[in-house]
Amino acid sequence: MALLITESIKMSTTLDLQKDLRDLKNELYYLNEDDDNYEKYKELLEQRQKQLKWSIEKTCMYYADLVIEQQLDADNAKTIADRTAKKARSAKNKTEWTKLILKELMFNSGITKLKTDYTNASIFQGQEYVNIPENFEASELPDKYRKDIPATSVPISRDITRALKAGEDICGLKLISKGTVIRFS
């Protein structure tokens, strides 16, 4: 907030200086050479004009440096974010590979439960569920296996799964297995 106020003051000061500079140029233009104090007044105006130009130049230099500094900050933040995202993806991939290795080792050796200082791991056969294709027409199903949502009809997967497990044939749908699942607690 303080930076914004400082920037606002500097910007208004710069605009005031630019206005003063224009006014001085106009005053010099309209000065009467016959005036007694013409040379002295002209010299003072030119001196003030130089001061204003110097002040505006310094302010412009400040803003130019600020632009570069802010761009470097933005680039640095992006680099850090990119590195962090890369580390997160790498850690997630390592975790998935490690879980896969653990699952295979436990499954192949017949170990179903593990307890460590940090976690408990158990391995079990995943439940079967029905795989309903996205383009499957729910209207082909008997009424007891679908629910009507206004303007559409959607299959009730839970009821279809139970019926298929009981041996019922429903429109050529089949059960698929989730395979072996590992759970941590």
CA distance 22 to 120: 78
Note the Cα 172 to chain centre separation in Å: 44
CB 145 within 8 Å of CB 102: no
Mean pLDDT of 130-153: 80
CB 153 within 8 Å of CB 147: yes
Question: Beta-strand (E) ranges in 19-178?
Answer: 113-115, 120-125, 128-130, 146-149, 152-155, 175-177
Q: The tokens 């974010």 sit on which residue?
A: 81
**Its pTM surpasses 0.85:** no
Query: Whole-number mean pLDDT of the chain?
Result: 79
Mean pLDDT of 4-24: 62
How far does the chain reach from its first CA to its final CA, in angstroms? 46
Query: Residue 113: is its pLDDT beyond 60?
Result: yes
Give the model confidence (pLDDT) of 33-71 as tens digits.
666 666 777 777 778 778 777 877 887 788 888 888 888
Residue 33: per-residue pLDDT: 66
Which tokens belong to 44?
């003072």
Mean pLDDT of 8-28: 66
CA distance 105 to 121: 12
133: DSSP letter: -
Task: Give the number of other Cβ atoms within 10 Å of residue 119's Cβ.
Answer: 9
Q: Where are the domains of the chain?
A: 2-30+38-101, 114-184
